[in-house]
Structure 1
Amino acid sequence: MLAEGIIGWILIGLVAGILGKIIMPGRDPGGFIVTILIGIAGALLGGYLAPLVGWIPRATWERYAAATAGAVILLAVYRLMMTRRVR
């Protein structure tokens, strides 16, 4: 059961990474593949944090929303860290 949940969030993360890139266009220091990996990590983060704040995503669109929010947050943090590193 746990493996199915994690695999599901990873697959949703692939889509969330692409949606995160659409929401936050521009050049990323790592490119498209890194953006998708950040989307996967964001989906796992969103899937973990959503129940902690009292929101349990049951519908598919709610899972995509949590995953996309996690992806956008991680992408913003990643861009912030990488731009400070380059300076």
Structure 2
Amino acid sequence: MGILGWIVLGLIAGAIAKAVMPGRDPGGIVITMVIGVVGAIIGGFVGQAIFGTGLGSFFDLSTWLLAILGALIVLGIYHVVTSRGRRAHH
């Protein structure tokens, strides 16, 4: 999959992760896009390490599941980090 495919996959995975994960996001659409792309990359590494399969074809279900899982992980970490920062300022 080329770089454009990774970006599109990450954007969609980030949007799905944001829709699935409860709570308000302190970031906007740009943060969601970055989280999605980073999540897709992390999902590929996790899939390779655990299952022996990384991100494959754009139309492969396992590719989408790994990318969404990675985006959920990154979004969860982002929520924890940003919520600590907001509590510290109050």
Please give the TM-score of this superposition, normalised by the length of structure 2.
Answer: 0.80
Q: CA deviation at 1:36?
A: 2.0
Matching residue's letter, 2:9: I
Question: Match for 2:11 among 14, 24, 32?
Answer: 14
Q: Deviations over 1:18-65 (max 9, x none)?
A: 100111143211122211210110001111221111241556111010
Deviates more, 1:52-61 or 1:24-33: 52-61
Query: 8 Å contact 1:13–1:67 — kept in the other structure?
Result: yes
Q: Secondary structure at the match of 1:56?
A: coil
CA distance in 2, matches of 1:66, 1:80: 21
Structure 2 unpaired stretches of 5+: none
Matching residue's letter, 1:44: I
Moved >6 Å (runs of 4+): none
Q: Deviations over 1:3-26 (max 9, x none)?
A: 72x443322111100100111143
1:49 corresponds in structure 2 to 46
Matching residue's letter, 1:15: I
% of aligned pairs identical?
38
Query: 8 Å contact 1:20–1:71 — kept in the other structure?
Result: yes
Structure 1 unpaired stretches of 5+: none
Query: 8 Å contact 2:39–2:71 — kept in the other structure?
Result: yes
CA distance in 2, matches of 1:74, 1:83: 14
Q: What value does the CA root-mean-square deviation take over the aligned residues? A: 1.9
1:28 corresponds in structure 2 to 25
Q: Secondary structure at the match of 1:53?
A: helix
Query: 8 Å contact 1:9–1:67 — kept in the other structure?
Result: no
Number of equivalenced pairs: 84
